[in-house]
Amino acid sequence: MTPLIGLGEAARLLAVSKVTIRRKVASRELPCVRLTPGGPIRFDLRDIEKFIAEHKE
């Protein structure tokens, strides 16, 4: 299993703000994991890497 990372780390890896990450999650452009209902969002590192690869120019 790949490690899960937090919102701040995901934002850092994608070089965007936390607000932008939340928007990507809300629009279903970026998958996330919630371990408990209403709990903090986490991201599978593979999903972040895939998102980066899909958005390279």
pLDDT tens sequence across 38-56: 899 999 999 999 999 999 8
Instruction: Indicate if the pLDDT at residue 1 is higher than 80.
Output: no
Share of the chain above pLDDT 70, in %: 100
pLDDT band at 2 (very low <50, low <70, confident <90, very high): confident
DSSP per-residue letters across 1-57: -PPEEEHHHHHHHHTS-HHHHHHHHHTTSS--EESSTT--EEEEHHHHHHHHHHT--
Closest CA to 44 of 26, 23, 24, 30: 30
